[in-house]
Structure 1
Amino acid sequence: MRALAASIAIAFLAAPLAASAADGQPRKALTKAGQEAARSVVLKRGDLGPGFAPHARGKDEGTPKGARCRALDEDDLTVTGDAASPDFRLAQGALFVTVGSNAQVYRTLREANTSWRRGASSQTTTCLSDIVRLSAGPGQKITVVSAKRVPFPAIAPKTTAYRLVLTIGLGGNQRIRTYVDAVILQHGRIQTGLLFTSVGRPVASVDLVALASVVAARMAKAAGPKGPVA
């Protein structure tokens, strides 16, 4: 869940992503099996339609100062696998969409469930809103119009989704309406987050469900009867 919070700024503002325990991220004790499981889950270029191009992520600059995210901190938890897809971007005329995902394998099921419980708190939307608002670049003013949990099909043993509606002021009277959709899944010790950003209108629900279902199937395969070995 904490990794998703860090990812919000990435996909939307092209800010980078990396896990850092000093910034509330879980500690890393990466293993070969854990890394293989995490990498197998995240989105691949072939999962998306024509026109999407991968953009590599850079180094994380941390959660913006002042973001109210303490309730999601996981510096007392440990992951054995951590992976992120590129940001896949589609730009065609006025259409601009970014899709990305990350996956973490927690050391124990208890730790995975602890992460999920914290992320399911009411503080999640506050944290995500603050990260986006406070990550505005020079000349930008970001206003969070709404941030809420939204219904989503139970495609994994644990499933939840959030939508943020934003306006970006670019100077003068120019404002852009932007949508951020986050889908979070957990299967055993594996958690994954999918992040969609779009300008003008939200990504269609059928597309959100289709891509999340691809990831959910990979999670089920990676978890297996006993989950990925440590």
Structure 2
Amino acid sequence: MRVGYGLHERLAAAHLSGGWLPLFTAWLDEAGRRGVREPNAMVLGTATPDGRPSTRTVLCKGADERGLQFFTTTTSRKGAQLAASEFASVTFPWLVVERQVHMEGPCHPLSREDSLAYWRTRPRGSQVAAWASEQSRTVDSVSALEAQYADAERRFAGVDEIPMPDRWGGFRLTPERVEFWQGGRDRFHDRVECRLDAGNWVVSRLQP
């Protein structure tokens, strides 16, 4: 299983002269235009208290100069690991367009107000699901899980605005290192890194 690369011209360090955000936004938009399904999907990496890595895919729900936002059940496995270490990594694997962006940095909970603002934009079914599921906990069967959802539906049947559970909220990863990867011919890929140093972004080219 070997695929060749070479869709793009060489990535130059000068493309990151404005910092990581403009190029990230441009690549994200292009990934969507080229048919990547859910281009905001990112692989979130955390670590257990004894240092074992753990990854899963979550959806990025905001990107600005402060970093990336995502939302989850805070009592889940990833929520517990973030509470313990306060650091994380994310990777956007846009393989269809031969690009990838990787970020590392501290990751902290959003304020309840910020989480609530996003909660109110969620579809009603997703809100019900957040109440129905104790994310990452074991369950006896599919039927038991479906019964939990049905119970939550009945609970909020006459409620116009479903409240946000205390165990649900957002996080923001504030990048300290951002690496842009772009596939190159003969596996001679482009890797350009932005690293935060004393408040300034330093751009370097890395060997493939």
- TM-score (normalizing by structure 2): 0.26
Query: TM-score w.r.t. structure 1 length?
Result: 0.24
Answer with 1 or 2: which has the greater Rg.
2
